[in-house]
Structure 1
Amino acid sequence: MQFVQQIPGLLLLVTLLCCDSIRAQDSSNMANMTSMMANATNMTANATSPTNVTNATMVESPMPAQMPMNMTQPQQQQPSIWTTEELVTDLSLPGAPNATLDVRYNDSLQVTLGNKLTPLQASTAPTVCLRNVSVGCEPPFALLMVDPDATSRQNPQFRSWLHWIVVNVNSTEKLHEGDQAVPYNGPAPPKGSGPHRYVFLLYCQRGRRLQGSELAPEKRKNFNLAEFVNKTELGPPLAGNFFFAENP
């Protein structure tokens, strides 16, 4: 009976001991959590400190190259008609003339770098000038007209046929007026020989006057333009023009 009477007291004691144990465990857990939070705070502070950032190895992914806006392919320079029509090659020119001569037959029929005229339309000497163009040369000038397609472009056995030489020209406004070293000879292509190229070229005499009578060749056929230019020291052509004519 005495033990039974002591049971309530024992139960109370056990209950109190259990409560103390739970409180102690909660305090320990709380302390552990507080310690973990403190450690996390310290790690964050260390990671963001300037010293650690400086010493850290930064690894960055490469930025993709950006293409410029509105990028276009460079335009390819178009070849000169003097090149496409093979005049530079067939006449042994150092290059295509930089300027275009104003050539007119009967004051109205204009030569326009490869247009077609009839032999009759070009039978008399044209007017020739060079306006609003700086050629970097002072008078006098020399003007020549040749046909590299004699007797035909496919068989140029008489290349070139000399049609005209004018030297000691004093004005670019009237390049046809000067000493007529070789009088004008209009186009007369053989029948059925196809289109012929009739070419005008202007040269600088480099301040020298030429003796026209000494320049005229014995024959008009097989005129060597490059040899003539070299002999007279004219240099590259300043300007030029040409047309086609044929006798179908």
Structure 2
Amino acid sequence: MLITAIESIIESLKKAGIIPDVVDEFKPEALLDIKYGEKKVELGNKFTIDETNKTPDVNFVFNKSDSDDKSRYILMMVDPDAPSPKNPTHREWRHWIVGNISSDGNLSEATHLDDYMGPSPPSETGEHRYVFLLYHQQVPHIDYPRLDKVKRNNFKARQFAEQYSLKLISANYFMCKRD
């Protein structure tokens, strides 16, 4: 079941255009279990702005039984459709980055590069894709810079991952629009 779910990630990301808009094709090694309250993010389901205004709960489910306790991960949330899907001149809008996450997914002891910013797509721009990306850090700890003061628009997850030698291992996303 886990392998089937992991295989469906790539298919869904391609269908939504996340591959190639945000990331290149990769081999998923984990599932990103993300919940806003009791509602799970499930590869493109719809959320309202109100449902996503608070930081979600995040867990990882690995495709291997022996996860390394020393491994660390980084989680990003981006909007590749800013300011609108038809004119994404601010692609990608950085909504959240947390690094140095332990394999148990404990975010309280992780490095928060910037604070969570919930979706706020402009009126009449249609549905935006909000993409969560989970990367494996190649080293146990990275001294990431605090990004709060850096403009959130035109962030590039690919470039950030390359800069810090991060390996993409999972992704998930939801859709949201302003009513």
TM class, shorter-chain normalised? 0.7 to 0.9
Aligned mates of 1:98, 1:80 — CA distance in 2: 15
Aligned mates of 1:145, 1:219 — CA distance in 2: 15
Mapping for residues 57-96 of structure 1, pairs under 5 Å: 80-95=11-26
Maintained 8 Å contact 2:91/2:153:
yes
Aligned mates of 2:149, 2:166 — CA distance in 1: 17
Match for residue 50 of structure 2? 120
Number of residue pairs aligned between Structure 1 and Structure 2: 170
Match for residue 169 of structure 1? 101
Shift of 1:133: 3.2
Length-normalised TM-score, structure 1:
0.62
Aligned mates of 1:224, 1:132 — CA distance in 2: 26
Match for residue 246 of structure 1? 177
Maintained 8 Å contact 1:202/1:239:
yes
Q: Which moved more, 1:96-105 or 1:187-196?
A: 96-105
Shift of 1:92: 3.3
Tell me which protein shows more helix as a share of its residues: 1
Tell me which protein shows more strand as a share of its residues: 2
Match for residue 63 of structure 2? 133
Mapping for residues 9-24 of structure 1, pairs under 5 Å: none
5+ residue gaps, structure 2, are 1-6
5+ residue gaps, structure 1, are 1-76
Match for residue 122 of structure 2? 190
Match for residue 199 of structure 1? 131
Maintained 8 Å contact 1:119/1:245:
yes
Q: CA RMSD in A?
A: 2.3
Q: 1:155 to 1:226 in 2, by over 3 A?
A: same
Maintained 8 Å contact 2:72/2:103:
yes
1:197 counterpart SS class: strand
Match for residue 143 of structure 2? 211
2:71 counterpart SS class: coil
Match for residue 19 of structure 1? none
Instruction: For CA contacts below 8 A with separation 6 or more, give which structure has more relative contact order.
Output: 2
Maintained 8 Å contact 2:26/2:169:
no
Match for residue 113 of structure 2? 181
Match for residue 55 of structure 1? none
Aligned mates of 2:111, 2:31 — CA distance in 1: 22
Q: 1:212 to 1:167 in 2, by over 3 A?
A: same
2:35 counterpart SS class: strand
